[in-house]
Amino acid sequence: MVLPLQATTSTYLTCMKDSKYVLSEHRLISKIGMDMDYLAAPVFVTLALATLLLRLVLRWRVGELCHPRLPPGSRGLPLFGETLEFFTASPTLELLPFFKRRLERYGPIFRTSLVGEDLIVSLDPELSTRVLQEEERAFQIWYPPSFMRVLGADSIIAALGPLHRHIRALMLRLFGPESLRLVLLPDVQRSARAELRSWLRLPDVEVRAATSRQMIFGVTAKKLISHDDAASEGSLWKCFDACTSGLLAFPLCVPGTAFYRCMQGRRRVMKMLKEQLGARRNEPEREGVDFFDLVIHELDKPESELNENMALDLLFLMLFASHETTSIGLTVILKFLTDNPKALQELTEEHENVQKRAGADPDSDEITWEEYKSMKFTSHVIHEALRLANIAPVVFRKTIQDVQINDYTIPQGSKVMICSSAAHLNPKVYENPSVFNPWRWKDILEPVGGSKNFMAFGGGLRLCVGADFAKLQMAIFLHCLVIKYRWEAISGGTMMFYPGLRFPDGFHIKLLPKD
């Protein structure tokens, strides 16, 4: 049985050796005062299991006592740690109860054990910023094995140093500023207009699924791999929808669980991508060029830094990221606007003014790059929704040297979990932090990338490559929506954190043309 170790293996073993709590088998038997030869089988089995359990508990507890300079905390139950409490649903926009209780008891830096991993948790903005900024110096990327099973062992999120920078530069050829302005902006507008027109025919639209399936995933899938998911009745989107539901689920891979469906979805996607890779390489010539072609070109270079597994995992990750983040963000925005008519009115006026200033056809919702960049209140709404939604609730790193923080030592090899919601809900930075208030951003400098107070897209060297693309999609969708349409909420809209944000009953609306 493999047990989670506190700090380094050598220190753990030394502590175990010196601990007065550890009993040898001989001493344990003598204390029981029985001769094992005369025990009946059931009694022997019971005592053996009790002995194993006792030693397991003692080892688990000794691991907590060995390093007095570690941050305070608890490892919880053997094997399970504090996992069950961490995954308990919360129906509030406030800091998750799991974090709030430990913040009150231990302070903003504490220890826990989740899904078999000992973790140092940071709710401290200074430490969280330091972790992200000292990438490849004191810290490096790390994610739990369950994450890596979903996203791929050769994914960019596991790449280090020059390889990570090379893959990132490759991704920016699709999501960089020039591509956003010249290519993706027109594509996003066409897709948003078509999606909204299709909603008029429906009595009930579930916002997250509807925006994700065609308007967001459809555009990205075409740009990445020239895949028309509408022609296959959304088969690829369904695979990624299963992956999303299982990523933050308890990693129990047995039939019927969310994690099992997630892994089944990944296997189907990877099989399709591998078949497509083989077919592309055998094609004599292609008229169009998509991101898959760029990846294949990199693979075929002499002494390429990419191998086939890296290429396939990269494509999987980019499709995965495009599926969920933006659609959840838009769903949250529509829910907040539905509940806040004042914000909706100001947003609508901004888009109407953009249209008037451009002298555009009243029936047109076409906008330019400059007009998009002028939408200040729209940007406030997007940032405020992302702050409250905490779409990426946690990020992980690992120490590559001993780190001193306050009076604590975080030993080399320790895993660190950063809770972005602690920064987003910090009352010292955001007044009434759990309230949707886009006007607060008029007095706050909006982050170009990440900052210690806003980590919706990560930060440091690992800032999300697609962050600007996601914000572009949200803004263009809102423009097309408020210029021509209105909506009525039908049902759902309850937000729950598990710890990631979900709408368990969806958010259903009816789209109507403006009078």
- CA atoms of 437 and 387, how far apart (whole Å): 10
- Our CA angle for 287, 213, 435, nearest 5°, is 130
269, with CB counted inside 10 A (0-12, 13-18, 19+), is buried
φ and ψ at 385, to 5 degrees? -65, -45
Cis peptide, bond prior to residue 499, ω within 30 of zero = yes
CB within 8 A of 405, min separation 6: which ones? 109, 124, 127, 130
- Domain boundaries defined on the chain: 139-513
In this structure, what token pair is assigned to residue 60?
């688990």
Residue 407, CB-side half-sphere exposure with 13 Å CA sphere? 4
In Å, how far from its chain's centre is CA 417?
13
**Residue 50: what pLDDT?**
59
Bridge pairing between strands 415-419 and 496-497? unpaired
Q: d(Cα 258, Cα 110) in Å, to the nearest integer?
A: 29
Q: What is the DSSP letter of 216?
A: I
Instruction: Write down the residue that tokens 């002494």 correspond to.
Output: 303
User: Containing H/E element for 319?
Assistant: helix 308-339
Q: Closest Cα partner for 142 from 455, 399, 321? A: 399
Residue type, 148: M
For position 361, what pLDDT does the model report? 59
Q: Name the amino acid, one letter, at 305.
A: E
Strand partners, 112: 119
Q: What is the pTM of this model?
A: 0.83
Ordered DSSP codes for 225-286: H---TTTTTTHHHHHHHHHHHHHTS----STTSHHHHHHHHHHHHHHHHHHHHHHHHH-S--
| Residue 464 among known ligand-binding residues | yes
pLDDT attached to residue 418: 94
First to last CA, the chain: 67
Supply 208's token pair: 């997250």
Distance from C-alpha of 449 to C-alpha of 456, rounded to nearest angstrom: 9
Does residue 147 sit in helix, strand or coil? helix
User: Can you read off the two tokens belonging to residue 514?
Assistant: 């403006």
Q: How far is CA 515 from CA 192, 398, 462, 487, 512, in A?
A: 20, 56, 46, 12, 9
CA-closest candidate to residue 25, choices 45, 1, 48: 48
When the candidates are 1.10.260.40, 1.10.630.10, 3.40.190.10, 1.10.287.1040, the CATH number that belongs to 139-513 is: 1.10.630.10
Rg of the chain over all Cα atoms, to the nearest angstrom: 26
Q: Please report the pLDDT score of residue 360 as a whole number.
A: 54
Question: What percentage of the chain's residues is helix, strand, coil (to nearest 5)?
Answer: 55, 10, 35
Contacts 24+ apart (CB under 8 A), 21-25: 21/58, 21/61, 21/62, 22/55, 22/58, 22/59, 22/62, 23/54, 23/55, 23/58, 25/51
Mean pLDDT by 10 residues, the chain (515 residues): 36 38 41 44 57 52 57 89 91 93 96 92 92 91 87 83 87 90 92 94 94 86 84 79 76 86 90 89 75 88 87 89 85 97 97 78 74 95 94 90 90 94 93 96 78 86 88 95 96 91 94 91
Q: Name beta bridge partners: 416.
A: 120, 397
Torsion angles phi and psi, residue 316, rounded to 5: -60, -45
